Structure 1
């Protein structure tokens, strides 16, 4: 049996990443992959990149990785007009200024998609979607027609993506779409970190979403100390953005399927 871990959307949150990697170690996985967005929002962009490199975690490019690496004016995120946009812009500007040239070069070299093969099953890794690698949000509430278009667009059996910060599992037209949620900035209303484990036993694939607690207080203190917007700390404390209201993601924690 093979066991693979998938992490995503770390967003410069060192405490979260360290806690998740410790949990992954206990799982004795064969390989860990990252779906992008190493940087942005949080206070430790360089430390995150250096830890990812040290652990040899294969990573695809996220929209924030692209924006910071190439020093863009916008991350392409779907912000609401007003203060949310201001916070996003401040976060991007701060991250660009505080990420080393060497680490920006690393971000620029990340692939926008990657296909891996396990037991003759092909898995596509992207940050957004197969139709827009960096920017499309494939959410639990994405309508079925759009999901069918995405499923029909790929030759691979499974798509694993990030970007939404919401755990997701969808099965349609013989394809499976999985999202591990977010290590560094959860949005499902539960403060902490999430990731995905895929277990392969012959032709049966089983998946588990895992929740990991970390020292959120320490990360929040860092955010305030370095001068990032206080709203970024609030998101971590709440485990969601302020515009989510009482929305909850109801993806099952475990599941299995044949391919």
Structure 2
């Protein structure tokens, strides 16, 4: 039997990552994997990357990892026009500026997908979707026909993805799609962090989602100190995004299955 933890979308939030890792230790897992987006939005990109390295956590590449590693002008995110776009661009620019050369190299070399086979269960890890590794949002509201197409493109039994910051479990067309939500910037409506534990035993698997509280105030204080847009702090406090308005410039679910 193997017990695996999946984390995603840490987004430079060291306090959230450390709290989640502490919770994972209590769960006695055998291995930890990450679905990408180690950086962006938050105040501690280098510290988060160094922690991921130190803990030997294998990660696939997220769109923010790609944008920061290759110093791109856009993260490819689905922002609303106006202030939300400005805030995202400011965050990306700041993160590129402060992230070390060595850590950018680390981000650049992350794989865009990873396929595992554990105890007879095949698992695909990807940030977005099998059809668009970095950018596609597979949400609870995604149309059934799109989900059918996604499920039909893979041979794996389980797809574990991130990107949406929303906890999700879908079982369809003989496949299971799981999203652990977000460690560093949850959008599930409650301030904190979420992750996923998958337990596999001889072809059968069960899963559960974990919610973890962390020192949100400390992270918010860091955001203010380094000069990142205050909207990022508001998202952490609310546990969800909100309508940022026009530009300021005026220019624990459970499941048990058998493969």
TM-score, normalising length: structure 1: 0.96
User: In 2, Cα distance between the equivalents of 1:103 and 1:258?
Assistant: 40
Q: Deviations over 1:126-176 (max 9, x none)?
A: 000000000000001111110000000111111000000000000111001
Aligned to 2:4, what secondary structure does the other structure show? strand
Which residue in the other structure is 1:132 paired with?
132
Shift of 1:203: 2.5
Q: Deviations over 1:156-197 (max 9, x none)?
A: 111000000000000111001000000000001000000000
Alignment root-mean-square deviation, CA: 0.9
Shift of 1:59: 0.3
In structure 2, stretches of 5+ residues that fail to align are 245-251
TM-score, normalising length: structure 2: 0.96
Which residue in the other structure is 2:60 paired with?
60
User: In 2, Cα distance between the equivalents of 1:257 and 1:141?
Assistant: 23
Shift of 1:216: 0.1
User: In 1, Cα distance between the equivalents of 2:112 and 2:2?
Assistant: 25
Which residue in the other structure is 2:215 paired with?
215
User: In 2, Cα distance between the equivalents of 1:27 and 1:193?
Assistant: 16
Q: For 1:70-149, what aligned pairs fall within 5 Å after superposition?
A: 70-149=70-149
In structure 1, stretches of 5+ residues that fail to align are 245-251
Which residue in the other structure is 1:15 paired with?
15
Shift of 1:81: 0.1
Shift of 1:243: 3.9
User: In 1, Cα distance between the equivalents of 2:201 and 2:131?
Assistant: 30
Asked whether 1:194 is paired with 2:194, we answer yes
Aligned to 1:242, what secondary structure does the other structure show? coil
User: In 1, Cα distance between the equivalents of 2:206 and 2:120?
Assistant: 16
Which residue in the other structure is 2:45 paired with?
45
List structure 1 segments (4+ residues) > 2 angstroms apart after TM superposition: none
Shift of 1:201: 2.1
Shift of 1:204: 1.7
CA contact (8 A) 2:121 2:200 kept: no
